[in-house]
Copies of this chain bind each other. A is one copy, B any other.
């Protein structure tokens, strides 16, 4: 990520190293569900996604059943021993402070301090990630090793924080396409210094936005949403629900995208949306060993996007899933360990393929009755003999399933081939006037999308 890189064309990051460099740059910022760490993160992302617009939602705003909380500002936070040594310091690691801690400046005994300390006995070197957004509280997180080194005595505890009527910050970028149908990518920026969950999400989102910007023409629109988890997606949904329900035909919650240890698929609540179908189809061909979770294993913003009555077609394609890897929600979830340049690059490649399939999806209809004469169009070996070349299976599968009910993913599944192997042959058939790809507008993303391939 060179400093000399300028504006639009240069701001596309597609290489693993570039995405990783972005993650390194965002690493030290203290993100939370509100505040300057969040805003600064979004401003840096704007360098790579200039289309990104920031939206401030004031404290006190209703978001369905929720209320946007006060903004949180933190200047310093530490625990000092009797000699004044800052033995735990937020300046060393954002995770040392319980998120949304109230201010405190007090000297207390170790016994009084203990209830405010959080550590993980079974992972003695890890600092846990703890927050208390909706109940006023304060606390420090530290490794079990640090905790056990504390000696009886008095400790000065200082947290210079304030809660005030401010706002939470959302961001969105829309890349319009020829049709009103939209693919939604949502990711969250509220996690302080942790890598797979969750610097990988916004960094991969930025990379995908760049890829989409550079597409020569877009059939679909693409919407990127960067929000604090839960309250952010709720606030975003409460402002945009009807419009999203009309437009979005497929969507993904971008989270846990950085490691190289696993591929994971979590369905939408519906389980059979275009997002689910394209995800499973691409994973099956590109990462056949992927782990298939069920909806009951959900745990991120898909809970909001797929809630009853919201019903957006949002699935998740992840690497190692939240809750399922040992470093999750601790200081061990760090760059180089749970996020690698290769991991990020492979993730981007898979999503790029899913985008390509969705972008070109269609329900072709045969124009002629019976099989067309491929030979006179040069699509069939003209001298037939055993073992000689045949017309591509892709062409035959497209023609036979082109009854207007099957989309490209259906045809690929029936033919047991990847959908992307159908794209060239489909173009040939359209050019030859043998199939028609009439557009089928469909509501709410529950059914796969179709449009005219030209």
Q: A: which residues have CB within 8 A of B?
A: 63-66, 98, 118, 120, 128-132, 134-135, 137, 139, 141, 230, 233-234, 237-238, 241, 269, 295-296, 298, 303-304, 306-311, 328-330, 365-366, 368-373, 375-376, 382-387, 393, 397, 399-404, 414-416
Inter-subunit contact A120/B386 (CB<8 Å):
yes
Copies in the complex: 3
> A130 CB to closest chain B CB, in angstroms?
4
Asked, given contacts A234-B370, A238-B369, whether A296 binds B393 with beta carbons under 8 Å apart, the answer is yes
For A434, give the chain B residue with the smallest CB separation.
Answer: B65
Residues of B within 8 A of A328 (CB): 386
- The distance in angstroms between the C-alpha atoms of A309 and B393, with both chains bound, is 20
Inter-subunit contact A385/B329 (CB<8 Å):
yes
- What are the 8 A-B residue pairs with the smallest beta carbon separation, nearest first? A308-B403, A130-B385, A135-B382, A329-B386, A65-B368, A65-B372, A64-B370, A308-B366
A129, A383, A397: most-surrounded residue (chain B CB, <10 A): A383
Inter-subunit contact A400/B308 (CB<8 Å):
yes
- The distance in angstroms between the C-alpha atoms of A233 and B369, with both chains bound, is 12
For A374, give the chain B residue with the smallest CB separation.
Answer: B65
> A421 CB to closest chain B CB, in angstroms?
13
- The distance in angstroms between the C-alpha atoms of A243 and B296, with both chains bound, is 41
Inter-subunit contact A304/B370 (CB<8 Å):
yes
Checking B118, B233, B383 against A131 with a beta-carbon cut-off of 8 angstroms, the contacting residue is B383
Asked, given contacts A370-B65, A375-B135, A403-B308, whether A385 binds B128 with beta carbons under 8 Å apart, the answer is yes
Inter-subunit contact A128/B373 (CB<8 Å):
no
- The distance in angstroms between the C-alpha atoms of A141 and B304, with both chains bound, is 68
Asked, given contacts A397-B296, A400-B303, whether A132 binds B382 with beta carbons under 8 Å apart, the answer is yes
> A147 CB to closest chain B CB, in angstroms?
14
- The distance in angstroms between the C-alpha atoms of A399 and B306, with both chains bound, is 11
Supply 15 A–B pairs (Cβ within 8 Å), ascending by A. Answer: A64-B369, A65-B369, A66-B370, A129-B385, A129-B386, A132-B382, A134-B376, A137-B383, A233-B370, A295-B414, A304-B370, A308-B404, A309-B366, A310-B370, A330-B386
> A389 CB to closest chain B CB, in angstroms?
13
> A436 CB to closest chain B CB, in angstroms?
11
- The distance in angstroms between the C-alpha atoms of A346 and B112, with both chains bound, is 53
Given contacts A130-B384, A308-B365, 4 further A-B contacts (CB under 8 A): A65-B369, A296-B415, A307-B370, A307-B399
Residues of B within 8 A of A385 (CB): 118, 128-131, 141, 329
> A391 CB to closest chain B CB, in angstroms?
12
Residues of B within 8 A of A402 (CB): 308
Residues of B within 8 A of A63 (CB): 370
Inter-subunit contact A414/B296 (CB<8 Å):
yes
> A445 CB to closest chain B CB, in angstroms?
16
> A140 CB to closest chain B CB, in angstroms?
12
> A323 CB to closest chain B CB, in angstroms?
8
